[in-house]
Structure 1
Amino acid sequence: MAPDVTGKAGRSADDAARMPLMEHIRELRSRLVRSALAIVVAGIVGFIFYRHIVNVLETPICNIKSIHGVGQPTKDCRNGVLVLIGPSAGITLAFKIAMFSGIVLAAPVWLYQLWAFLAPGLYKKEKKYSLTFIGAAIPLFAAGATLCYIFFPTILRVLMGFVPAGVAAQLPLDTTLVFFLRMMVVFGASFVLPLILVLFNFIGILSGDRMRKSWRVVVLAIFVFSAIAVPTGDPIGMSVLAVPICLLYFGAIGIALANDKRRAARRAADPIHQLSPDEASSLDLTPAPVERTDSLEDIS
């Protein structure tokens, strides 16, 4: 009788790779708890240094010369447009800054926890691509957030241009900074979208030729999305977000087409190269000639 190859608890090797639903739920809970703890710890750090964070965020707003507020100009805020209303506004702002800081600073931790939860269901090459995706997504997100930081004064200047002449403007500090942070998140996430398309191409879900044929619709969708995401609605603010995303999209098309060409060349040289475990390899059914052998009596 053939030996029964089993894993722990009498399960086979294939069954050991599959977890029951309750184990999946327990693992998900464990990874959510770790992610939450990381966000809390990073949020405490953001709460401690929230004054420095506020100073960095308010600098581009306070340096806008075309607007003025009711406050007296200071060294930190020259136009006096930022105000805090209410005795609890300061502590509320500190907690909001801590929350956003915790999510951003703990991003490597909760992204890893998300990947670790999904990794057992991925093939080997998909795991490799997902790690590369995380490594490339961080600088792209940072580039989008930096672009928003640079052009946010222009966006705010357009918005404040609707204030009637001779009227002083007031911008609640907590509301304005939260709006600023949300804009940075939108810009950063938008820069990652073309990378997702490249990941889909490497996995085999989306072809470069299909991306190339759909570029007109995608470009239109990008500009519509930018018009909604940028609250000014002016062509300059919309283009600041749309043009870089379009360039990244065309770069993603180039990468996808090159990857498809490389994959086609390898499959032409070796038909079973890079087949997924779900694909069947072609069988060579050509009968092979039987070599002449000596009889058993001659061998003995």
Structure 2
Amino acid sequence: MPLGDHLRELRKRLVLAFIGILLGAIGGWFLYDVIYGLLQQPVEELRARGVEATLNFDSVASSFDIKLRVAGFLGLIVSCPWWIYHLWAFLAPGLKHNERRWTLAVIGAGVPLFAGGVYMAWLALPNTYILLTQFVPEGETSSLFIGVTDYLKFVMQFLLIFGFAFLLPLILVVLNFLGVVKGITWLKGWRWAVIVIFVLSALATPTADVVTFILMALPIVVLYFAAVGICLLNDRRRARKSAKEEAELDDALADGASSSADAER
């Protein structure tokens, strides 16, 4: 496909993905009160510890801005099947028909992967936020005024980072199916991959409880090796197919040579 066609296809897929996110954001607009109540739970836990924590709308337009942000965040979450599908649809033209079936199955796993990453981050969020604010003295004389814009930006980015992190194994598989990287390459780099996963998990969940960040890292490590296994199986399948095609070609050439020899005689 020419470069211009690729760019037009990319634009088409981005527009369709954006429309899906926008429709989800419209639903999020009407669910704002419910979602906002859920997102401020870490602040409620701070209050339970005796810290007078308060979320502050520090400008005239901040309440409207926050409602837009929360609606967009929910739109991105609920529309993940839609934009993951269009990611696959953009990549699919470069694959053969049978490979597209495999890729569709793998991309279909992207929805629970993304949702699982968001859920794992949600479980770790309260401990993370409590740790970051643990130096505020407890008692009636202590107050913590939190800008609602900065707070919700932190919470939403935290959840989305882990959602996209859980999609990384899927990206490894897609790159392998596209023929960009072989499975053995991912396997050789497993030590670095594990180190990077644990370091990023420790940074993203800076909690004194070591068990928390380990529980965050282990699912990603398991998904990494599962992705490597799928890549290796795909490489083996391709190698068998290539060997079979070469054998058939050799047989055809041998038959052709034999026929030519018989004709000469």
Bin of the TM-score, shorter chain as denominator length: 0.7 to 0.9
Higher relative contact order (CA 8 A, sep 6+): 2
Matched residue type, 2:28: G
Q: How has the CA–CA distance of structure 1 residues 41 and 257 changed in structure 2, closer, same or farther, with 3 Å as cutoff?
A: closer
SS at match of 2:41: helix
Distance in 2 (alpha carbons) for counterparts of 1:45 and 1:110: 17
Asked whether 1:35 is paired with 2:8, we answer: no
C-alpha displacement at 1:99, in angstroms?
Answer: 1.7
SS at match of 1:85: coil
C-alpha displacement at 1:140, in angstroms?
Answer: 0.7
Distance in 2 (alpha carbons) for counterparts of 1:261 and 1:26: 35
C-alpha displacement at 1:58, in angstroms?
Answer: 2.1
Find 2:115's aligned residue among 142, 154, 164.
142
Distance in 1 (alpha carbons) for counterparts of 2:90 and 2:39: 35
C-alpha displacement at 1:151, in angstroms?
Answer: 1.2
Q: TM-score, normalising length from structure 1?
A: 0.71
Structure 1 partner of 2:153: 178
C-alpha displacement at 1:46, in angstroms?
Answer: 0.9
Distance in 2 (alpha carbons) for counterparts of 1:30 and 1:200: 22
Q: Does the aligned pair in 2 maintain the 1:42–1:102 contact within 8 Å?
A: yes
Of 109-118 and 48-57, more deviation after overlay is shown by 109-118
Q: Deviations over 1:186-231 (max 9, x none)?
A: 1111111122223333444433333332211211222233344446
Q: Deviations over 1:150-190 (max 9, x none)?
A: 11111111111122454322333332222111111111111
Q: How has the CA–CA distance of structure 1 residues 174 and 160 changed in structure 2, closer, same or farther, with 3 Å as cutoff?
A: same
Structure 1 partner of 2:38: 56
Matched residue type, 1:283: D
Q: How has the CA–CA distance of structure 1 residues 30 and 255 changed in structure 2, closer, same or farther, with 3 Å as cutoff?
A: closer
Q: How has the CA–CA distance of structure 1 residues 205 and 227 changed in structure 2, closer, same or farther, with 3 Å as cutoff?
A: same
Q: TM-score, normalising length from structure 2?
A: 0.79
Structure 1 partner of 2:62: 89
C-alpha displacement at 1:42, in angstroms?
Answer: 2.0
Q: Which has the larger radius of gyration?
A: 1
Asked whether 1:255 is paired with 2:237, we answer: no
Distance in 1 (alpha carbons) for counterparts of 2:15 and 2:129: 38
Asked whether 1:283 is paired with 2:250, we answer: yes
Structure 1 partner of 2:186: 211
User: Mind listing any 5+ residue stretches in structure 2 that lack a counterpart?
Assistant: none
Structure 2 partner of 1:14: none
Instruction: Output the aligned Cα RMSD.
Output: 3.4
Of 239-248 and 136-145, more deviation after overlay is shown by 239-248
Find 1:122's aligned residue among 95, 112, 118.
95
Identity of aligned residues (%): 37
Q: How has the CA–CA distance of structure 1 residues 215 and 235 changed in structure 2, closer, same or farther, with 3 Å as cutoff?
A: same
SS at match of 1:170: strand
Q: Does the aligned pair in 1 maintain the 2:95–2:178 contact within 8 Å?
A: no
Matched residue type, 1:188: G
Find 1:245's aligned residue among 211, 220, 226.
220
Structure ranking higher in helix proportion? 2
Structure 2 partner of 1:113: 86
Structure 2 partner of 1:298: none
Distance in 1 (alpha carbons) for counterparts of 2:87 and 2:157: 22
